[in-house]
Amino acid sequence: MAISKFELGELIKELESHKGKHTELVTVYVSGGYDMNAVQRQLEAEKSTAKNIKSTTTRNNVIDALEKVIREMKTFRKTPENGVAFFTGNISQVEGQQDIGFWQVEPPMPLKTRLYRCDKEFVLDPLKEMMEVDEVFGLLVMDRKEATIGILEGKLIRVEKRMTSGVPSQIKAGGQSSQRFHRVLEGLTKDFYKRIAEEMKNIFYEMKKLKGIIVGGPVPTKDEFLDGEYMMTRLREKVIGRIDTGDTSESGLKELVEKANDLLAQQEITKEKKEVQGFFEALAKTPDRSSIDLEHIKKSLEMGAVEKLFISERVDKKILHELQQMAENTGADIKLISTETDEGIQFYNLRGVGAILRYKVH
């Protein structure tokens, strides 16, 4: 059964605390739908390779860890829908002693990674990315000849579509005037822009978590595309930035994201300010359906009455974890509030916890 996002956060902290004295901590990621038997065969092969490890202690620890994963894999009738990850190895901090730790997790979101690694620490980046992804940004880098459409999920950039226009650098057909060449070129370019817009519609239109779209390219091209209204209105309104870039490949998407860091950070701050302002308004207008009293909030969470829970990142960690767990168990929307804005500081100074309720709780 898939664990909650809160439980995933706790697991990541625990796994980060373990460091191997040697290269003997095993990480295995199996993506949803992938053949578990194929992974078992790979690990059996790795077990044979591990027999060549010179250190007897390290060799035994790695083989024992691999055997543990293989045994657990055999209990699965099929790969879970979201995939599964295994973490195991000798976590003893006493040289020469063995303490094989084992963790198995079905994550709250689909795993897109297939991986086997034996190292001094567990590979946790794929799980950490899940903790960050509540929304996505659409990406486009383009010029008149090429375009790459991608998605930014947390820190992960995923290429969705690569396109070429077929627009030639020059037309050598004899007798063609420069005016005719220009018309042909413009026609092919407009057709390419239309194709880009259609692909963006196919990729982004139904995407519920789409926060915004960032477009990169040379100075005239991206502006021609955006100002020419090739994109449908709903998506055009989602464009939050135009950024000068030169590369139209996957590397161009990375360049686009790097140059958009400030823009993306500002988006998060603006979103957080609006969330806190919304809570303050609810507190003023509907005080019987909002609360800043910790015990009242806990009672409301137990009853499943909390619609949206606000917690300052600066509150006591024990309280933060307790409230997060209760909220995830009852389906409440959780908003972690920083103190990077005036509103966030005001919220922390008020109590640091708050809730908007589905109904009145006495």
Give, as one character, the DSSP assignment of residue 288. Answer: G
pTM of the model: 0.56
Tens-place pLDDT, residues 199-247: 999 999 988 889 899 999 998 899 999 998 899 999 999 999 999 998 9
Is residue 255 within 8 Å of 216, Cβ to Cβ?
Answer: yes
pLDDT given at position 18: 94
pLDDT given at position 123: 95
Query: pLDDT averaged over the chain?
Result: 89
Tens-place pLDDT, residues 353-362: 999 999 999 8
Which amino acid is it at 4? S
Tens-place pLDDT, residues 308-328: 999 998 899 889 888 988 988
pLDDT over 70 (residue 60): yes
Q: How confident is the model at residue 171 (pLDDT cuts 50, 70, 90)?
A: low
Lowest-confidence segment of 108-122, 159-173, 286-300 by average pLDDT: 159-173
- Span 55-72, average pLDDT: 94
Q: How far apart are CA 246 and CA 278, in angstroms?
A: 40
> Got the DSSP string for 249-260?
SHHHHHHHHHHT
pLDDT over 60 (residue 176): no
Q: How confident is the model at residue 107 (pLDDT cuts 50, 70, 90)?
A: very high
Q: Cα–Cα–Cα angle for 45, 47, 52, nearest 5°?
A: 105
Q: What is the largest CA-CA distance in the chain?
A: 87
> Got the DSSP string for 113-137?
--EEEEESS---HHHHHHHH-S-EE
pLDDT over 90 (residue 262): no
Give, as one character, the DSSP assignment of residue 75. Answer: T
Domains (range + CATH), the chain? 5-132 (3.30.960.10), 136-259 (3.30.420.60), 270-357 (3.30.1330.30)
Computed on alpha carbons and rounded to an integer, the radius of gyration of the chain in Å comes to: 26
pLDDT over 70 (residue 90): yes
pLDDT given at position 289: 95
pLDDT given at position 134: 67
Is residue 259 within 8 Å of 243, Cβ to Cβ?
Answer: yes
Lowest-confidence segment of 168-172, 205-209, 216-220, 345-349 by average pLDDT: 168-172
Q: How far apart are CA 131 and CA 344, in angstroms?
A: 21
